[in-house]
Amino acid sequence: MFAVLTTLIIIWIVMWGFFKFMYPRPPKSMMPKKGDVTTPRNCDYCGHSLAEYRGVLESPPDAASTQTDVPALFFCNYEHQAEFHQARGTTPPKRPEPPTAPPSTNAS
């Protein structure tokens, strides 16, 4: 009986360690901060569902002046935004500079 319990406890500890190794906690920078909109939205290019603060929100250029009922475009990332506008023949709005620009080592 004691051997069964010991084996179960050892298996539980090993499985707990394996779970912690396989599913590590995401870094703090990926977590939503205060004020971030966490509503899931679908990308207008590929349809992927993503929280709004993780993607690129593009408001229509004349929404502020004329009408506000035009829905804002939403994309997973800037690549999907660029391909969306390329397919439509329009030019995407100027991309804002990221706060910490990574060095561009993968120049093709």
Q: Where does this chain bind Zn ion (CB under 5 A)?
A: 43, 45-46, 48, 76, 80
Residue with nearest beta carbon to Zn ion: 43
52 contacts 41 by C-beta, under 8 angstroms: yes
**Tokens (6 digits) for 9:** 């406890």
Closer CB to Zn ion, residue 60 or residue 82? 82
Task: Give the shortest CB-82-to-Zn ion separation in angstroms.
Answer: 11
Task: Give the shortest CB-30-to-Zn ion separation in angstroms.
Answer: 18
Question: Quick one: the chain helix, strand, coil %, rounded to 5?
Answer: 35, 10, 55
